[in-house]
Chain A
């Protein structure tokens, strides 16, 4: 499977370095190694969701209880979770770190991913959710740290978009 094992590890390590000890997730191809790493890590609580909106509530509860968390989700999962993001994270001013796979962008071969890809950034912008792209492993640790810092200081959701160039290795 051409999902980058090495870069998944970089993202995972960066997430650990910013203090995340609980992740909620729903799988998609690009997230398989990240979720596996969380599952294999005894220092990480992995919550397997039925639907992404639940993860917003779980992260809010973790924050109330003093634990840093993150959500691993596809952009369609982000779109699914909007009501929770508005009605919990934004309304109640709760930090939320979302690692969102940026499906449907340049290079996408799956026709069914293409519509969601067009709407991810406009919806993030409409909700005034700060976001950045993760495209190179070299940038991941610093961008992860800055995203978590802003989430905690602004008490807001933030998004890091996991890009194709980072997560996917084209077969040689």
Chain B
């Protein structure tokens, strides 16, 4: 499973969310799909994207917050999972792309060669860690269809969720991002000043790799 395909699958659903990503490949690939003012790319401070997401989620409980994290960053702030779990905001989704490598800080090389793996390569299961930390919902997925279903379900749901997606340790086509860190830093809170649109006004994301758009089960049961 490729990170970029996962991001494509959820991109339409991120329209009305506050999105916080880690640095490196994740940021560059999300950016490559089309930058939006509601995307904040944390270009440093590995581990703190999830803490920033938690701060936003607690400060704006009406807005869905999606943190797009990586295994290396999560391992630098494992305690943060326990803080998220005990705070348990129901508007926070923690997506973790697990390529088992410190890819973006030099642990990978073109061609998928991994010379500095993380502990997830040797058996650490971040979904199990999140579950044990107290996340009401944490799941590991290995196939794109499963990722899409789980991630959209989480984004449209009302429960603190963690989705760990096992992905290839592949470099992005480019790390170039034509948005300066500070430009991004100032446009992002401005975007968050706009009240989140009411759920009825949201365009329902559909599962774009499926033949027929389906209603997300969790969303359906919530509306009934």
Contact = CB atoms under 8 A, between A and B. Distances in A.
A and B part of one assembly: yes
A92 B182 contact: yes
Indicate the size class of the contact surface on chain A. 20 to 34
Contacts of A66: 59-60, 189, 192-193
B45 A83 contact: yes
A88 B59 CA distance: 18
A38 to B, nearest CB: 13
Interface string A49-63: 111011111111111
Contact of B48 (A47, A57, A62, A67): A57
Nearest to A87: B45
Given A22-B58, A93-B182, A64 B86 contact: no
Centre residue among A47, A54, A63 by max chain B CB count within 10 A? A54
A61 B82 contact: no
A43 to B, nearest CB: 14
A88 B42 contact: yes
Interface in B74-89: 77, 79-80, 82-83, 86-87
Nearest to A61: B55
Nearest to A48: B86
A91 interface: yes
Given A48-B83, A48-B86, A53 B44 contact: no
B188 interface: yes
Contacts of A69: 55, 59
Contacts, number: 116
B55 A65 contact: yes
A63 B77 contact: no
Contact of A63 (B50, B87, B189): B189
B78 to A, nearest CB: 8
A60 B52 contact: yes
Contact of B59 (A50, A65, A83, A87): A65
A87 B44 contact: yes
A27 interface: no
B181 interface: yes
A60 B55 contact: yes
A137 interface: no
A84 B83 contact: no
A48 to B, nearest CB: 7
A105 interface: no
A66 B54 CA distance: 14
Contacts of A67: 59-60
Interface of B: 18, 20, 40, 42, 44-45, 47-60, 63, 77, 79-80, 82-83, 86-87, 181-182, 185, 188-189, 192-193
Interface of A: 22, 45, 47-51, 53-67, 69, 83-84, 87-88, 91-94
6 contacts: A54-B48, A57-B49, A61-B53, A65-B55, A65-B63, A88-B42
Give 8 nearest A-B pairs by CB, closest first: A61-B55, A57-B51, A50-B79, A87-B45, A65-B59, A57-B48, A67-B59, A58-B55
